[in-house]
Amino acid sequence: MLRINDTMASRMLVTIVVFSGLIAGLLGQEYCNPSYCGTRINVGCNPPPLIGGPLCAALNGTAIELNTTIQALIVSEHNRLRNQLAIGNLTGFASAQRMPTLAWDDTLAAQAGHNARSCDFAHDVCRNTAKYAYAGQNLALESFYGMSKTNDTLVRDMVASWWSEYQDATQALVDKYPRGYTGPAIGHFTQMVSDRTSTIGCAMQYWIQDEIWNTYYLVCDYGLTNIGDRAVYKKGPTASRCVTGTNREFPGLCSTSESVPPLPNTS
């Protein structure tokens, strides 16, 4: 049995914190390279510290740990809903010929965390990485008082709010995502059903707004964003273009072995 005295433990803690800070600093400098976002600022370039940015500090904001159970819930909720569309069970929408199964991605989650730690409910202008040249993003903010909610409930509520936008979308809009679209919000829904997206990573921040409102801010980043004039997903017989077969739990989705590059559809 290894025993560590208080002094040694303190030294180890300092070493770990410093080492983590060095890694974060190096990554922050890497994302400042214009090769990621051109003239736009990457959210990972000199991001807020782990304790949060100035606004978070003023609000005493804290990061909500998205453990493996919550990660699995986020992924499962997305896949359940993607499957609903892919098999043709979402009113007004055709089935999908090659809808991949979503999986968690730690790099996307880290980028999402940089946004969440701002405590500012707003999209960052760019979150691209070496692997994801067109990364996408969904945001949700929920506030309430006089009650409490579990993280599970919050996640389900927020994902459901994104999905509900299908009521304002049409197959035509999905077949060719409109450039410069100004109608009712549909972008969260279309982000969720992109067939060129196979990865997701999220982060959540909590603070009390105006001394009363329990406020939760969820940021989810995706492997590919909505691309103007391109199909969100290719319609056709369910899973007919899946190369590796289908997912046993979600038969409308391709198997977890399906490799889908995070690049826009060709048309």
CATH of the domain at 171: 3.40.33.10
Whether residue 119 is predicted with pLDDT greater than 70 in this model: the reply is yes
Task: Kindly write down the DSSP assignment for every residue of 116-161, as one continuous string.
Answer: HTTT--S--S----SS-TB-EEEEEEEEE-SS---HHHHHHHHHHH
| Mean pLDDT across 227-248 | 98
| Mean pLDDT across 92-103 | 99
Tens digits of residue pLDDT in 136-172: 999 999 999 999 999 999 999 999 999 999 999 999 9
In a domain, 85, yes or no: yes
Whether residue 230 is predicted with pLDDT greater than 50 in this model: the reply is yes
Question: How many domains does the chain contain in total?
Answer: 1
Cβ atoms of 113 and 203 within 8 Å: the answer is yes
Of the pLDDT bands very low, low, confident and very high (cuts 50, 70, 90), residue 213 is: very high
| Mean pLDDT across 3-24 | 39
Task: Kindly write down the DSSP assignment for every residue of 249-261, as one continuous string.
Answer: SSTTBBPTT----
In a domain, 63, yes or no: yes
Residues spanned by the domain of 153: 53-222
In a domain, 135, yes or no: yes
In a domain, 66, yes or no: yes
In a domain, 33, yes or no: no
Spatial distance between the Cα atoms of 164 and 154, rounded to a whole number of angstroms? 15
pLDDT confidence of residue 29: 64
Q: Any residues with CB less than 8 A from the CB of 50 and at least 6 apart, and which?
A: 20, 24, 63, 117
In a domain, 120, yes or no: yes
In a domain, 57, yes or no: yes
